[in-house]
Structures are given as C-alpha cells and as structure tokens.
C-alpha cells in the first residue's frame, strides 16, 4: 500500500474515533490550492513530523507537537491499553529477575556450598560478585540505554541473564561460579534503570509511583514463587545432577523463553505501540506533556552530566545516592543470607523454604501498599520512604536483641519493609529529574550506590556469628536509622524549591500549568515551570 493511501486510511480512522475534535480552520493545501482543511488533519500531519523526530532521537518541542484536547474516557482507554501490555511485561520480568538473583540463596540451603567446596567467606563473595558486575556495567549500560533502542536492549539483557543462570548449574569450584555471578550482575544492571526510563515515556508523573511499585513488589512475588520452585526442584533426583542445579536450570530456561516474548511485545515509544490506533498514539504522547521531558533524546549533553554530578547545582541526585546506599547495604546482607538466617533458628532445608513463605508475601504487601499510598495521597512519596523504614528497623533490633523463637519469626517477617522505600528511590529519576542525559546519569548514580551497598552488605554477616549475625544486624540498624533524616531533608529541599519557583512565577506574572509543558530536552533546573513531586 502506498504512503498516500496509508495517510488517508489513518485520517479516516482518526475522524471516526474523535470527530468532535475536527474543526474548520484555513490551512494551505499544497496540491489543490488554499482550501479549508480540518484542524485535526493539521495536527495529525504535525504528529508524523514528531514521530520522524522521535525516530532520529531528537527532542520534540511545542511547534512539533500542537496541544490537542482529549476526553477523560479517551485518557482512561489509552491508559488501560498501556497497562495491559507494559505492566505484565515489567512485572513478569521483575519477578523472574528476583527469582534468578535469589536462586543461589535457595541453593545454599541444600548442598550448594559443599559441592562447590566453598570455605570461609566464599559464599559472601559470590553474593558480592553479582553486584561487582552490576557496578562495573552500570555506566556502560546506561550509555547503551540512551544510545540503543530501549525495548530491544532490555529484551536482549533478559535473554542473556537467563542463559547465564542456566550455566550456574555447571561449576563445581568457586572460580567458575564467581565468573558467572559477575556476568549475571552485568546483564541485570540494565533492568531497573531501563524500566524506570520505559515507565517515564508512557506514564504521567503522578501515575509512575504506582506502576514502579507494582513491578517492584514482584520481588516479593519472585521470592514466593522461587521458594515453591526450589521446594519442587529440591525433590528432583537425577544421577550426577544435584538437586540445587535444577533450581538454576529451570529458572534460567523460563527467563530465556520470556525474553523472546518481551522482545516481540514491548514498544519503544508511543509511535511503535501496535496495540494503539493513530489517534490513541497521539493521546499517549499528549498525556505525558506535563512531565516536561524529552521522549528519549539520544544525544549526550555534557552540561546535564555536570548538573547531575554537582551537588551545589542540584543536590537531589546525591541525596538519593546516600539513601539508596543505606538501604542497599542491608539488602545485600539480608538478601543473600535471608534463608540462612531462618535456617539458623534450627529448621531443616525444606522447613526453611516453607516457613519463609510469609516473609515473601510481606515483600509484596509492603511495596504495593507504599505505592498505593504514594499514588493516592498528595505529597506522600517521601513520607512513605520514611515510614516504611520503621518495621525493618524494629525487625533487625529483634534479631539483634533476642533468641526467642516467636519474636525472631515476627522480626524476620517484617524485615523487608524497606523495599517500599527502595521503590520510591527507583521511581525518583522518572518523576523528579528532567533532561534525558541528566535522568540517565542520576539513574546510574543511584544504581551504582545500590550495587556498592549490596557488595559490602554480605561481609557484615559473618559465618562464625551464627545464629545471631550480630555484626550484620548492627550494620542494618545504623543504616535504617540514617535513611529517615536524609529523606526528611530531601523533602524540605523540594518544598523550598517549589515555593521559590512559585514566587518567581508570581513576580513575573507567569501562570504555571501543571499539565502543560513541552518535549524539549530541558532539565528540571533549567525549566522553572517544573515542580518537584513530594
């Protein structure tokens, strides 16, 4: 079919869906002279220019993308269609990512450590090496996310990590397992920053915390499903293949199959949404105008790098670095030793897996409830971050102070509340940072901090301190206590900056439209109409 016929068909489709938006305005017609042409045709023509610019990776401005009106019903329809595709893809990917990352923790309750002849703190180093790979590949990975097609890069990353996880069944020495764990970290380094970028392209800022929370709560779902899979695989008996090896083989195989589905279904931007028609693609673009951000510029802008890295220009990036580090250090220790902590209460391998299921369920409840509160209650994001530190702090104090089995189990089940705070931090670049390069750099800073904390964390959990792991629990207490005041100071900074911008707007007589904006690649510091989400 020719291009001209395609345009006619697309225009007919748009007119059929939204006839109320077609108004008569004089627009020059190059083929037939000056005639009256519907305004919607002018806008759809502009839309094609916008999509051409998107394909080149250029910023899009008001002149390229005229404002259009759409009804609340149309907004809900487009949002529902986006959710039906993007949410399952990101949630399943995050579930598999957590299952794959924690597979070694489940393997450890079987004969994994014995079969690989691990001694001393070898197991802790295997936990850290994953995040050494994560740290090593964070900036190269962020560069790839900006320069290459986002959805294809993410799908390829998922495929590679699934294959590598299957390889974890092969080593019988520390060296081989260490190499694979490092490469696994490199492959998974793209997951969370890539999904944050993806969410920021399709969702309004106020919609993002709930979506990030939904796929982040899949860590808990992954923990729950991973426990059941490990319980089942632990009963598989094949000569020459230990039961723990099947945990890696099965989980890795499922991940490889899902990667193919992800590559097929995941859109790059509204232009490539095959499940949206022409008018819905245009609405999908208009919906995110209020984010005041580019739709994916592929040009690296060094002044934005400077803005992200210099705290005297913008301190928010470093504030999140500190917060994430104080969450990631406990995460590295608790995440790798979670089932060994429970087993130290005196349970067998299979009892440990089953009794740990409520803790996995709580890891769904905490981030999901935190995301819902952040979405429904105005200005509650950083309050959620601070409030959800308290159960984790109580949990580690119980682990540190008592050996009463009932109290220990209660403390164990509430240990994971801090993951809700991590979800808030991971969503921050999409909500409160504008400028593609700046957003990528701050995202990388956050995940480098995350990797560093996870590298250090396991080494506070010392094998000779079983069952109390006193050093690890003390380190967790200190970190959780630091997070709360830093979150409070960050909120004060946002409030002060928003008030300053309101004052400047009032002095200049400028009216600020919270839902208005353009798709130029300005940063939140450059664009004084930008307001920080609290």
Q: Which residue has the tokens 């059941």?
A: 228
Taking Cα atoms as reference points, which of 283, 285, 287, 306 lies closest to residue 296?
Answer: 285
Q: Is residue 18 assigned to a domain? A: no
Does residue 458 sit in the same domain as residue 428?
A: yes
Which of 3-12, 401-410, 463-472, 484-493 is predicted least confidently?
Answer: 3-12
Which range marks the domain in which residue 395 is found?
299-533
Tell me the pLDDT tens digit for each residue of 376-423: 888 888 999 999 999 999 999 998 888 777 888 898 899 888 988 887
Q: Is 40 part of a structural domain of the chain?
A: no
Mean pLDDT lowest for which of 109-123, 157-171, 468-482? 109-123
Statement: residue 217 has pLDDT above 60: yes
Same domain, 468 and 382: yes
**Domain limit, last residue, from 243, 268, 295:** 295
Residue 329: per-residue pLDDT:
93
Give the Cα-Cα-Cα angle 89, 92, 93 (nearest 5 degrees): 80
Q: Which of 196-205, 232-241, 487-496 has the highest mean pLDDT?
A: 487-496
**Does 57 or 326 have the greater pLDDT score?**
326
Are residues 355 and 493 located together in one domain of the fold?
yes
Residue 420 structure tokens: 């809700």
CA dihedral 431, 435, 441, 442 (to 10 degrees): -30
**DSSP character at residue 224:** H
361 found inside a domain? yes
Q: Is pLDDT at 523 greater than 80 in this prediction?
A: yes
Residues 351 and 429 in one domain: yes
What DSSP assignment string belongs to 489-522? HHHHHHHHHHHHHHHHHHHHTPPP-TT---BS--
Residues 247 and 375 in one domain: no
Domain-embedded: residue 473: yes
Together in a domain, 189 and 275: yes
pLDDT band at residue 336, thresholds of 50, 70 and 90? Answer: confident
**Do 138 and 211 fall into the same domain?**
yes
- Per the domain annotation, does 151 fall within a domain? yes
Same domain, 466 and 321: yes
Mean pLDDT comparison of 166-175, 227-236, 375-384, highest-scoring range: 166-175
Query: Do 291 and 308 have their domain in common?
Result: no
CA dist., res. 39 & res. 26, Å (int): 8
Residue 41 inside a domain? The answer is no
Query: Which of helix, strand or coil describes residue 226?
Result: helix
Which among 273, 295, 317 is the end of a domain?
295
Same domain, 396 and 278: no
Query: Among the three residues 295, 325, 348, which one is the final residue of a domain in this structure?
Result: 295
Mark out the alpha helices in 108-242 (DSSP H runs): 112-115, 122-136, 138-147, 150-167, 174-188, 191-202, 208-216, 218-233
Neighbours of 274 (CB within 10 A): 8
Q: Is the pLDDT of residue 29 over 50?
A: no
Total domains present in the chain: 2
Domain assignment of residue 13, yes or no: no
Q: Which two tokens stand for residue 497?
A: 């900056």
In this prediction, residues 208-218 reach a mean pLDDT of: 77
CATH of residue 155: 1.20.1250.20
Q: Are 237 and 243 in contact (CB under 8 A)?
A: yes
Q: Same structural domain for residues 241 and 93? A: yes
Statement: residue 172 has pLDDT above 50: yes
67-95: pLDDT as tens digits: 677 788 888 888 898 899 999 998 999 89
Q: How confident is the model at residue 480 (pLDDT cuts 50, 70, 90)?
A: very high
Alpha carbons 47 and 16: distance in angstroms, whole number: 17
- Spell out the residues 6+ positions from residue 373 whose beta carbon is closer than 8 angstroms to its own: 380, 384
Euclidean distance between CA atoms 68 and 78, whole angstroms: 15
Within a domain: residue 149?
A: yes
Residues 123 and 272 in one domain: yes
């Amino acid at each position: 079919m020719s291009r001209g016929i395609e345009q006619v068909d697309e225009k007919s489709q748009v007119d059929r869906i939204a006839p109320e938006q077609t108004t008569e305005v004089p627009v020059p017609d190059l083929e037939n002279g000056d005639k009256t042409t519907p305004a919607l045709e002018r806008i759809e023509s502009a839309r094609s220019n916008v999509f051409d610019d998107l394909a080149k990776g250029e910023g899009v401005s008001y002149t390229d993308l005229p404002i259009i009106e759409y009804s609340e019903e149309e907004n809900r329809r487009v949002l529902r269609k986006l959710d039906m595709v993007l949410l399952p893809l990101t949630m399943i990917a995050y579930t598999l990512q957590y299952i794959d990352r924690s597979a070694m923790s489940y393997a450890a309750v079987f004969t994994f450590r014995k079969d690989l002849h691990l001694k001393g703190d070898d197991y802790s180093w295997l936990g850290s090496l994953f995040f050494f790979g994560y740290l090593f590949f964070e900036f190269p990975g962020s560069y790839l996310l900006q320069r290459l097609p986002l959805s294809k890069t993410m799908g390829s990353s998922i495929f590679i990590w699934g294959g590598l996880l299957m390889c974890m069944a092969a080593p019988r020495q520390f060296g081989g397992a260490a190499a694979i764990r490092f490469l696994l970290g490199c492959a998974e380094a793209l997951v969370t920053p890539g999904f944050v970028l993806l969410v920021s392209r399709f969702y309004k800022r106020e919609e993002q915390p709930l979506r990030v929370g939904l796929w982040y709560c899949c860590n808990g779902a992954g923990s729950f499903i991973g426990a059941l899979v490990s319980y089942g695989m632990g009963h598989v008996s094949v000569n020459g293949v230990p039961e723990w090896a099947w945990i890696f083989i099965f989980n890795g195989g499922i991940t490889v199959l899902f990667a193919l589905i992800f590559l097929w279904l995941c859109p790059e931007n509204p232009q490539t949404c095959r499940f949206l028609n022409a008018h819905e693609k245009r609405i999908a673009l208009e919906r995110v105008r209020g984010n005041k951000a580019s739709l994916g510029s592929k040009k690296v802008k060094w002044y934005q790098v400077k803005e992200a890295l210099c705290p005297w220009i913008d301190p928010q990036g470093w504030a999140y670095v500190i917060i994430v580090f104080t969450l990631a250090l406990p995460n590295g220790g608790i995440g790798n030793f979670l089932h060994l902590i429970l087993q130290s209460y005196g349970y067998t391998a299979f009892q440990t897996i089953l009794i740990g299921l409520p803790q996995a369920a709580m890891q769904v409840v905490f981030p999901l409830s935190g995301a819902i509160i952040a979405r429904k209650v105005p200005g509650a994001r950083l309050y959620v971050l601070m409030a959800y530190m308290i159960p984790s702090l109580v949990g580690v104090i119980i682990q540190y102070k008592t050996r009463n089995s009932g109290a220990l189990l209660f403390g164990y089940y509430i240990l994971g509340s801090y993951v809700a705070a991590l979800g808030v931090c991971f969503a921050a670049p999409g909500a409160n940072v504008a400028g593609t390069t700046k957003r990528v750099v701050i995202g990388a800073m956050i995940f480098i901090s995350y990797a560093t904390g996870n590298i250090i964390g396991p080494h506070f959990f010392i094998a000779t301190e079983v069952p109390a792991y006193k050093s690890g629990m003390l380190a967790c207490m200190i970190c959780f206590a630091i997070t709360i005041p830093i979150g409070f100071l960050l909120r004060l900074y946002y409030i002060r900056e928003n008030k300053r911008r309101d004052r400047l707007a009032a002095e200049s007589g400028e009216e600020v439209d919270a839902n208005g904006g353009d798709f130029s690649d300005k940063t939140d510091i450059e664009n004084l109409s930008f307001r920080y989400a609290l």
